[in-house]
C-alpha cells in the first residue's frame, strides 16, 4: 500500500500524486523521487496538505497523461499544467473550462477533455483540445442538448474518438467521431442505461457501466457490428471509473446519495473475458458527509498499465487516498 493517488502507469514507470507533490517511480513503485510540486497560493497549500482538506476543497491532482518522454499534461486544482522534460516544476496553470473534467484523453496528436459543470441553464458545453506541442486549447465540438460531457476517449482499434454525456434521459448518450471531430454520430442514448462515464474498448466490443443514481445499474457491452447492447452484470451503485490491464477489464461503483443504490461499499468489478464479472475488491464508505467530503469511489490510473497488476486508489472510503497494487494472478480467487 502506497500513500498517495496513482495517476499513470506504463510498465515500470508509475506516477503518483501526494498532496502538492508529483512523484515518479521507474521500478514499479518500489522507489520514488519527486518530479514536480504544485505552485499554489497559501490557501491551496493548506488544502493540499491533508487528505480531508483535499477532499473538502476539491484540491490536488486529478489527471495526468504523458505526451512524450517525461512530458505530459496535468489537471490539478481545476487548472491545466504541463510537465517539461528537464524541469522539476509544472508550467502553465490556466483554468479549465467548467469544473473538474472527469477524464483526460490523449489522442493521436492532441490532448482532450470534456466540459463538466452544473449547467442548470443548459448552455453549450464543449470538447476541448490542445496540440501536445503548442499547448493552446481550443473547442473542437460543442453540445447544445446535454448538461455536461462525462468523458472523451480514444479508440485504439479504429482511431475514432468517443464521448459520453448526461444527465437526463434525453441528454444521456454515447457518441463517436470517426474523423477527429469534423462530424459526430450518436451511437446510443435516450435513457439512464446510456448515462455512462467511462468506456473500455476491445476489438469486438465497447464496454460501459450505467451512472444512474435513481435506478439499478449494470455493466454493459455494445457489439461493434450491429451495435446491439448486452447486459452483463448487475451492480449496486453508479459506475464512475474503469480501466483495462492487458485483456482484463475493470469498473468501479460509487457510494452516492440514492434511494435505490443504498450500498455503503465502493466496489471494483473485474472480468478476464468480458463476459463473466466478479467482485475483486470493495471499500466501505468512511464517516465523512458526502456533500462536503465527496462520494466513495475507487480511482484507476491512466496509461497502458504494466500488464500484470491492477493499480487502484480508494477515495472517501476506508484506505482513503492509499494506492494498492494487486497482481492479476490473485484476482481469480475473489468471488461475488
Averaged pLDDT in 10-residue chunks for the chain of 336 residues: 97 96 96 90 75 92 93 94 87 91 94 96 96 86 95 97 97 97 96 98 98 97 96 98 96 97 97 96 97 97 96 98 95 49
pLDDT score at 334 = 41
pTM (two decimals): 0.94
pLDDT score at 132 = 73
**Residue partners of 10: CB distance under 8 A and separation at least 6:** 66, 303, 304, 305, 306
The Cβ of residue 293 has, within 10 Å, a number of other Cβ atoms equal to: 18
Asked if residue 4 lies in contact with residue 314, where contact means CB atoms within 8 angstroms, the answer is: no
Give the whole-angstrom CA distance, residue 93 versus residue 17: 17
Helix (H) or strand (E) holding 165: strand 161-166
Q: Is the dihedral of CA 271, 163, 64, 47 positive or negative?
A: negative
β pairing state of 302-305 and 5-10:
parallel
The Cβ of residue 32 has, within 10 Å, a number of other Cβ atoms equal to: 19
pLDDT score at 332 = 57
pLDDT score at 336 = 37
Q: Which residue has the cell 487548472?
A: 79
pLDDT score at 335 = 39
**Residue partners of 169: CB distance under 8 A and separation at least 6:** 190, 191, 192
Amino acid at each position: 500500500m502506497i500513500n498517495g493517488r496513482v495517476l499513470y502507469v506504463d510498465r515500470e514507470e508509475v506516477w503518483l500524486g501526494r498532496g502538492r507533490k508529483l512523484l515518479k517511480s521507474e521500478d514499479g513503485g518500489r522507489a520514488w523521487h519527486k518530479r514536480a510540486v504544485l505552485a499554489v497560493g497559501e490557501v491551496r497549500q493548506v488544502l493540499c496538505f491533508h487528505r480531508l482538506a483535499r477532499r473538502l476543497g476539491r484540491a490536488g491532482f486529478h489527471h495526468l497523461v504523458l505526451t512524450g518522454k517525461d512530458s505530459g499534461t496535468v489537471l490539478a486544482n481545476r487548472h491545466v499544467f504541463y510537465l517539461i522534460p528537464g524541469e522539476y516544476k509544472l508550467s502553465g496553470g490556466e483554468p479549465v473550462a467548467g469544473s473538474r473534467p472527469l477524464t483526460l484523453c490523449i489522442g493521436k496528436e492532441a490532448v482532450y477533455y470534456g466540459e463538466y459543470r452544473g449547467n442548470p441553464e443548459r448552455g453549450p458545453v464543449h470538447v476541448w483540445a490542445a496540440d501536445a506541442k503548442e499547448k493552446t486549447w481550443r473547442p473542437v465540438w460543442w453540445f447544445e442538448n446535454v448538461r455536461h460531457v462525462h468523458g472523451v476517449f480514444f479508440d485504439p482499434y479504429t482511431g475514432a474518438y468517443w464521448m459520453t454525456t448526461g444527465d437526463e434521459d434525453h441528454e444521456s448518450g454515447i457518441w463517436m467521431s470517426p474523423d477527429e471531430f469534423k462530424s459526430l454520430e450518436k451511437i446510443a442514448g435516450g435513457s439512464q442505461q446510456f448515462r455512462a462515464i467511462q468506456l473500455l474498448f476491445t476489438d469486438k466490443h465497447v464496454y460501459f457501466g450505467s451512472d444512474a443514481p435513481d435506478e439499478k445499474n449494470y455493466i454493459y457491452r455494445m457489439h461493434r457490428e450491429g451495435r446491439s447492447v448486452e447486459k452483463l452484470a448487475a451492480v449496486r451503485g453508479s459506475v464512475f471509473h474503469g480501466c483495462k490491464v492487458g485483456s482484463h477489464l475493470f469498473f468501479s461503483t460509487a457510494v452516492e446519495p440514492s434511494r435505490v443504490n443504498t450500498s455503503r461499499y465502493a466496489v471494483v468489478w473485474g472480468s478476464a473475458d468480458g463476459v463473466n464479472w466478479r467482485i475483486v475488491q470493495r471499500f466501505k464508505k468512511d464517516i465523512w458527509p458526502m456533500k462536503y467530503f465527496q462520494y466513495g469511489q475507487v480511482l484507476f490510473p491512466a496509461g497502458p498499465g504494466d500488464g500484470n497488476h491492477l493499480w487502484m486508489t480508494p477515495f472517501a472510503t476506508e484506505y482513503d487516498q492509499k494506492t494498492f497494487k494487486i497482481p492479476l494472478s490473485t484476482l481469480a480467487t475473489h468471488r461475488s
